Structure 1
Amino acid sequence: MRFMVTAIDAFGHINATLGFAEGLKAAGHEITFVHREKHRNLAIKRGFSFIPFDETLVGGNPEELLFKWIDAFAEKFRQEPLKRFIEFASEKQESFEAQAKFFDTLNDALDKIIIDNPDKFDAIVHDLAAPFPFLYKHSIPWFQLASTNPLILYPSGPPPFAGYSVHSDQTAWNEFREVYSRAHAILTEIKNKGFEAAGLKDVKFNPAVFVDIPQSFGFYHYPAELDYTECEPRRPNWYRVDAWIRQPDLDTEFVIPQKLQDKPGRLIFFSLGSLGSADLVVMNKIIAILAKSPHKFIVSKGPRGDALELADNMWGENYVNQIKVIQGVDLVITHGGNNTFMETLYYGKPMIVIPYFYDQYDNAQRVVDKKIGFRVNPYDIEEDYLLNCIENIFNDKEMIDRVKSISHNMRNSNSLNEAIKMIEKQIEINNNKVQ
């Protein structure tokens, strides 16, 4: 079968989607990865075909716009989520207007791909984090991936993106939901007006979910031991896969840099992802703290890494071969983006999560609730606490064993193959109906 695979223009979603596509290819299917020209190498490396977006439609420099957005709202991102969204709700919400435009531009680019390549695809697999009109315009069956923390799929659980424990005081849950909804009012209004204009009155954007209702079914990836089964029922037609971790982007093995080889201590990977690392204030603060640790660090410095100065117990580059690095370290300090979160668990490493926004807070709290690591809030980074968290993990054999057990189950799961069989069967059913 011939699959078009795509995702929103964010590395976490792209990388996760590539992992699912690798599973499809291993099952004998033909993959065409559709995205911006700069990501062509990700497809070619994996033996996929590639079709680039029409850059005249996409336009601009999303990375520069992202930097401006981070700089403009950095103070808010350094606040706890409820206070952050209270402030967003009281402002003009230009950033959410820009997000709506981003979704519309991406929709137009993908729609043009389908129009220019009629009868090329048997199905679409996507991680677009919102309803997209082009999916309804064409007759190609589509299957949605949710590469985020799955709390969005459990309406009875804590509000997504708040970072609340399932054991927390529920009186605060409704307040957060109301504030969060007001903060995203402009985005919701613009998107839903667009659906109505496209004749899709039954399609609605829900900012508390950020996924569409599956056409037949969708898939999310999260290990069974961490899933929110205590918050069931789950939204209908969503199925869990233990993991769909992509192969490394580079085939070279990770070797401890010469600078660190003779230094004492354990080896730790530190990354706040492509977004969090753009906040140089937070990055510099954490680097200054980790400089006082007796351990050594591999640092993914991010898109603004040239402006960062690393300490003597650190080595880093703006972008590192993350999967290979994770395999070679003893601990990961991460922003908790779901892609890095899953990779860390897959390779059996405990973690300290310093969440920056959205589902990162939920992953951070899940780490605490399931006793597989620690949470450190970026708006409340205390030197002693962060350094003690590192030592407490290395001294906690039960915690390390729990993570290794989760890793073992993820790596030996057959759930991705079962998901692909579900897709194959559904496409056959659709084809039989057409005939």
Structure 2
Amino acid sequence: MTSDPVKVVVTSVDAYGHLNSALGIAQSLQKRGNDVYFANRKHHRASVEKRGLKFIALEDYEDSYTEANADFFVDMMTQYMEKAELTPMERLETWDENDTKMFLGVIDELKHLNNALTKIVDDKKPDIMVADVIFALPLFVNGPIPCIPLYSASPLILYYDYGISPGAGLSINGDRDFWKIYRDKEREIYQQINIEFSKWFTSFGLEPVDIYKFASFAKYFGIYVYPEALDYGQDLGPPPSNWVRMDFSIREPEQSDFTIPESLANKPGKLIYLSMGSLGSVHIPLMKRLINTFSKSKHRFIVSKGPRGDALTLPDNMWGENYVNQLAILPKVDLVLTHGGNNTTVESLYFGKKMIILPMFYDQLDNAQRLEDLKLGLRVDPFRYDEDEIHKLVDELLENTEIQDRITKISDQLKNSKSREKVLELIEKTARTKSSPL
């Protein structure tokens, strides 16, 4: 417990991976004796309060938050899934006005969040804020208190100046000429989005910004969540000096145990966890394809069906719910089939589980390629796999002791890491001194 408690507001965008990462920080700060508030959309109140945290509903501070946009990110990803089967380059080459409009909608959502958080800071008067919001906010730069960005996605965006684009699933060992081709196309396509993002900042009297320069928004310091064994510094060079790595940010589960349902407990085969994440799972045709494929498997499956899960029917060798207790399930399974979101990837490594990653977009692609490059897992295209081949890959990975040994070593490193304590101390020091601790 810290001898000099500080008052902290922790927040995130309304997406479960980022929410869970922020919850991990919030609970850790609270355990040290600090006064911790957690701000998010009101439908997360019960989950937050079950963990003993004080909850702040964003809707109470911003009229723009309505029932109509309560599922903004889920609705956005449902629209985005129209191009999910394309490669990242094909998505750029087929970019249209609807794509631009969708991403401008993200900026509008960030504006609502910035407004709400500004009012919360004025009302609650915390000493510091920690925010996992994917992009930058003006509050990071002009806020009356230190606002610390928390980045719980693949940290490639922090290494952008080394030439590799985040969210493209590019191999660190790949063709660097293609890195430039992709990067140039990306900047051309995102130009209007970058202009609008910059206009938002200049409306506060701030300097024009570059959406790609996320690292520069850490006025005091920034936190990125990624295991040391996977980090890109060993290949590209050091990350920005004002960013600190935290190996993991795992929240405590609402329930600490999970009993394998009787419908699966007495069946033969290995136990496999299938999760495409809260956003990836909105692609119902893909979820149905995966379920159909693995209905033919000799193994058993626990399935996280996602927010649209009522549209899915599971066969006899599967059990699942729309939302499952992932942290309690992971220790009990033999293998994880996942979209490769940062949260699930890090949690699977923490519990020493091998993974087949079926990435769909953004950092899922980067995480999948990173695990494959480091020979820690397999990357499989979820839209183009051959059924016989993927069943074979599952069996081969289950039997692969070399990969298991490497992952077990990383699991041990994570469980013995002191990086979280270091980050918590930096947050507390910054809250007290109102200056950079680095």
For normalisation by structure 2, the TM-score amounts to: 0.93
Q: Which residue of 1 aligns with 2:410?
A: 406
Alignment match, 1:156: 162
Q: Which residue pairs with 1:196 in the alignment?
A: 202
CA distance in 2, matches of 1:86, 1:322: 37
Find the aligned partners of 2:421 and 2:79 in 1 and give their Cα distance.
44
Q: What per-residue deviation string (whole Å, max 9, x for no partner) do you get for residues 76-128 of structure 1?
A: 111111111221267662111211111111111212212333xx311111112
SS in 2 for 1:168: coil
Alpha-carbon distance between aligned partners in 2 of 1:316 and 1:194, rounded to the nearest angstrom: 43
1:209 Cα offset (Å): 5.5
1:260–1:250 CA distance, 2 compared to 1 (3 A) = same
- Between the aligned partners of 2:411 and 2:39, the Cα distance in structure 1 is 31
Identify the match of residue 122 of structure 1 among 127, 139, 160. 127
Matching of residue 397 in structure 1 with residue 404 in structure 2 = no
* 8 Å CA contact retained: 2:8, 2:129: yes
Matched, 1:94 2:95: no
Cα RMSD for the two superposed structures: 2.0
Choose which of 69, 79, 90 in structure 1 pairs with 2:86. 79
Question: How many residues align structurally?
Answer: 428
Deviations 1:171-214 (CA, angstroms, capped at 9, x unpaired) = 11011112222332332121111111110115x241x4656521
Deviation at 1:384, TM superposition (A): 2.1
Distance 1:308 1:211, change over 3 A: farther
- Residue from 366, 372, 380 that aligns with 1:376: 380
Whole-angstrom distance in 1 between the partners of 2:126 and 2:302: 41
Alignment of 1:189-268 (within 5 A): 189-202=195-208, 204-206=209-211, 208=212, 213-228=217-232, 229-251=234-256, 253-268=257-272
* Cα separation, partners in 2 of 1:368 and 1:177, compared to 1, 3 Å: same
1:341-352 paired onto structure 2 within 5 Å: 341-352=345-356
Quick check: 1:156–1:233 contact (8 Å CA) kept in 2? no
Tell me, in whole angstroms, the C-alpha distance in 2 between the residues paired with 1:416 and 1:95: 35
**How far 1:64 moved relative to its partner?**
5.1
Alpha-carbon separation, structure 1, partners of 2:93 and 2:299: 39
The answer to whether residue 157 in structure 2 is matched with residue 180 in structure 1 is no
3-state SS of paired residue (2:197): helix
CA distance in 2, matches of 1:312, 1:142: 49
**Partner Cα separation in structure 2 for residue 258 and residue 227 of structure 1:** 40
**How far did residue 54 of structure 1 move?**
2.5
Structure 1: distance between partners of 2:241 and 2:66? 37
Q: 1:135 offset after TM fit, Å?
A: 3.8
TM-score, normalization: structure 1? 0.93
Deviation at 1:62, TM superposition (A): 3.6
- Larger mean Cα displacement after TM superposition, 179-188 or 306-315: 179-188
Equivalent residue number for residue 275 of structure 1: 279
Which of 12, 16, 20 is residue 11 of structure 1 equivalent to? 16
| CA–CA separation in structure 2 for the residues paired with 1:234 and 1:135 | 19
Q: CA 1:431/1:230 → structure 2, altered by over 3 Å: closer, same or farther?
A: closer
Q: Distance in 2 between the 1:69 and 1:15 partners?
A: 20
Shift of 1:149: 0.5
Deviations 1:255-286 (A, max 9, x none): 11111111111000001011111001111111
Q: Does structure 1 residue 131 correspond to structure 2 residue 121?
A: no
Q: Secondary structure at the match of 1:223?
A: coil
Partners of 2:270 and 2:370 in 1: CA distance = 25
TM superposition shift of 1:65: 4.7
Q: Which amino acid aligns with 1:189?
A: I
* Contact 1:157/1:166, CA 8 A, preserved across alignment: no
Per the alignment, residue 53 of structure 1 pairs with: 58
Q: Distance in 1 between matches of 2:262 and 2:93?
A: 48
Q: Kindly, what percent of the aligned residue pairs are identical?
A: 39
Deviation at 1:29, TM superposition (A): 1.2
> Measured at CA, do residues 225 and 298 of structure 1 come closer, stay the same or move farther in structure 2, by a change above 3 Å?
same
Change (3 A) 1:16 1:375: same
- How far apart are the structure 1 equivalents of 2:135 and 2:77? 22
Q: In the alignment, which residue of structure 1 is the partner of 2:117?
A: 110
The aligned counterpart of 1:21 is: 26
